[in-house]
Amino acid sequence: MRAVVTRNPWLLDIDLYAPKLTDKSVIAILKHCPRVTAIRINGLPRTTGRVKGHFVSFMNMRENQHKWGMLKKLRLNYQPVVEAQVRSVSKRRPDIVISQSIRVPSAVKESLSNAGIDIPVPAMTEWRRGHVEGIDWVALVRREQTRLDDLEQLATQVQEERERQRAYEQEQLAT
């Protein structure tokens, strides 16, 4: 990535389909393309990318706050970006619209559908001025996935306890 952006500092609109890009890649773009207006980092719908949002610390550094005044769009598709990072850059740079999308696992889609929630696929959230515009679909998917994971873990624990109880009862009957 560094080789591309160092040779092309005049790039304005960057749209990359590269699931292996990281936060370092975003920092390289920011360092070498000062007039960039839009950055789109696209992962693959079936896997999660590697951009987590650590580049935000670089953007928010005091010596960098005057830079990238032309940047208006930042789209992170299928990337495991941390919500706090997105909120931070969105607050400090209110002119940037930040879009984030993630895939919706079938179990999550089914669970939300059973609750009467018709979720868009992929789930997308848009940030402006430190706040989500509309429904935070990304957070909803993540919360529901966490809930389903917790239920699965609890079901496993209950099953193990029942098996221990049956073994104990069998042992008591045998003696």
Given a cut of 90, whether residue 39 has pLDDT beyond it is yes
Q: How confident is the model at residue 175 (pLDDT cuts 50, 70, 90)?
A: confident
115-147 residue pLDDT tens: 999 999 999 999 999 999 999 999 999 999 999
Cα 175 to chain centroid distance, Å, stands at: 57
* Helix H or strand E segment including 19: none
d(CA 52, CA 102): 13
The string of DSSP codes covering 56-122 is HHHHHSGGGTTS-TT--EEEEES----HHHHHHHHHH-TT-EEEEEE---HHHHHHHHHTT----SS
Residue 156 has pLDDT above 80, yes or no: yes
86 class by beta-carbon count within 10 Å (0-12 exposed, 13-18 middle, 19+ buried): buried
Angle value at C-alpha 109, between 108 and 112, nearest 5 degrees:
80
| pLDDT value at 46 more than 80 | no
What CA–CA distance (Å, rounded) separates 123 from 159? 33
Token pair belonging to 6? 């160092």
Q: Compute the radius of gyration of the chain from its Cα atoms.
A: 22
Each residue's pLDDT tens digit, 81-120: 999 999 999 999 999 999 999 999 999 999 999 999 999 9
Does residue 1 have a pLDDT over 90?
no
Confidence of residue 44 (pLDDT cuts 50, 70, 90): confident
